[in-house]
Amino acid sequence: MRPTRQFHPRPALKVTLREAELQLHIGEGGWLRLDPRDGTYASEVIGALGSIATDENLAATLERIAAAAQPVLIARPPAATMPPNAWSRPADLRGATAAGLPTGLLDRDGMPVLGTGGGTGSTVSFDPADWLPAQRHRVLHAALREAGMDAQGERQPSSPPPRDKPVELLLSCQPRREAGCLVFPYRLENRSDREVFVMGGVAVEAAVPERRVHQDLAVVLLGSDGDAVLGKVPPPLPLDTRPALPCLPLATMLPSGGVLERLLIVTEPLAESSPLLPPADLQVCEAVEIAGVVFSIAYWTPAGGEQRAVPFPDAPDSHDVSGLGNPARVTQRFPVRGLRMLRRSGGVRKTAPEKGPASSAGGGNGTPPPQRTPSMLTRTAAAGV
């Protein structure tokens, strides 16, 4: 049997590594456990925590978990995440949320479900292979900090930000189904007298270089009205699962009078996905029929002053627009029949992106919705999902 080791980064924090059980015992009652199925992974995580003896902030986070005596499991994500991130997901969202504050969920009567502040355990998803060695400690600490808030019942709810006033941006899209994919060729025309920045992808700066930038990702979420909201929009913050690092939105500058043509391909089956959510297990997702597909593109209009878009070095012709505030959106809706999407199990866990102004071939923002031509994306009853 491998030995038990103890080290004391500060008097109030006693950490015992029980290598035979792949467990870290923190304090008298709190347990920080590592996935016992993967010894190599456990060693990598222990390495990422190796600076606990000198990092006062990390030690304080672990003390919070120990004081709450709530179990925290660190495990490798079941599939590669795109883009890379680490997450903390509470076992009980009500217990994780501060007492009396809304969790973001609704009960059967449509009333807000409030937090109890009682605290709860959580699961931290973290893969050391996604991060530069010098960044692993920082990423894991960020996820553990969220787990510490959940353990103490101090999670604060997030509210959707207000949307900026839109400019005249014309979106035209003619989607089609092709070889097991939904294909969205789209065209944007800037009819305003100002430049705009049109969302293209996301980036996580601390990730390894080959996985830092992702230009082909789409946010796919089920709206409360039965539509699938799909496109290039900043992902909404999940209700329960908290990412360790933000995803930086990347955008292309579109000058006044300019035209931008792009192609977005989403593989079937259509499933809820977001850069801020861990990969879903499609085997346990629920198939639901959708009423339509709302194709949505986000864009930013610089207001001057301190607001500016910054060229992103790892993505040619792309700008980091995280400093430009909240984006506006332009959308097109396509009614469908017989098309289903896979919804994540466990009920509502996030808020769908706000639907922006409609656009059609006949006008810009604020024009009526496009004509209902469902044949492009409609499945026949015989085809089924």
* Same domain? 284 vs 143: no
DSSP string over 359-384: -BTTBSTTPPPPP--GGGTPPPTTT-
Region for residue 169 given its phi and psi (left: phi exceeds 0; alpha: psi -120 to 50; beta: otherwise): beta
Q: Which of 48-52, 251-255, 286-290, 306-310 bottoms out in mean pLDDT, i.e. has the lowest?
A: 48-52
* Same domain? 207 vs 275: yes
In a domain, 163, yes or no: no
Q: What is the largest CA-CA distance in the chain?
A: 74
In a domain, 247, yes or no: yes
Interatomic CA distance for residues 294 and 243, integer angstroms: 26
Count how many residues are written for the chain: 385
pLDDT at residue 291 is higher than 60: yes
Q: Which of 36-40, 130-134, 135-139, 318-322 bottoms out in mean pLDDT, i.e. has the lowest?
A: 36-40
Average pLDDT (334-353) is: 69
The SS3 of residue 356 is coil
pLDDT at residue 195 is higher than 60: yes
Q: Which of 152, 184, 204 is the last residue of a domain?
A: 152
* Same domain? 63 vs 209: no
Q: Mean of the per-residue pLDDT values for the chain?
A: 77
Cβ atoms of 269 and 340 within 8 Å: the answer is yes
Angle at 48 between CA 55 and CA 203, to 5 degrees: 100
Q: Which of 152, 181, 216 is the last residue of a domain?
A: 152
In a domain, 139, yes or no: yes
* Both structure tokens of 63: 């003390």
* Same domain? 289 vs 228: yes
Confidence at residue 320, expressed as pLDDT on a 0 to 100 scale:
92
- pLDDT grade, residue 152 (50/70/90)? very high
Q: What's phi and psi for 95, nearest 5 deg?
A: -65, -30
Is the Cα dihedral 150, 155, 160, 161 positive or negative? negative
Q: What's phi and psi for 331, nearest 5 deg?
A: -135, 160
In a domain, 380, yes or no: no
Average pLDDT (328-345) is: 87
Q: Which of 152, 177, 204 is the last residue of a domain?
A: 152
* Same domain? 183 vs 315: yes
How many domains does the structure of the chain reveal? 2
Q: Residue 217 is part of which domain span?
A: 169-370
* Same domain? 229 vs 271: yes
* Same domain? 175 vs 137: no
- pLDDT grade, residue 375 (50/70/90)? very low
> Which strand (E) or helix (H) includes residue 142?
helix 136-152
* Same domain? 82 vs 132: yes
Q: Which of 168-177, 303-312, 314-323 bottoms out in mean pLDDT, i.e. has the lowest?
A: 303-312
Helix, strand, coil shares of the chain, percent, nearest 5, are 15, 35, 50
In a 10 Å sphere around its CB, with 0-12 CB exposed, 13-18 middle and 19+ buried, how is residue 36 labelled?
Answer: middle
Please tell me whether the overall predicted TM-score, pTM, comes out greater than 0.75 for this model: no
Spacing of C-alpha 221 from chain mean position: 11
In a domain, 375, yes or no: no
* Same domain? 97 vs 216: no
* Same domain? 11 vs 142: yes
Interatomic CA distance for residues 229 and 194, integer angstroms: 27
In a domain, 61, yes or no: yes
* Same domain? 209 vs 119: no
In a domain, 300, yes or no: yes
Q: Which of 65, 368, 10 is nearest to 74 (CA)?
A: 65
In a domain, 260, yes or no: yes
* Same domain? 179 vs 148: no
Q: Which of 192, 156, 150, 189 is nearest to 173 (CA)?
A: 189
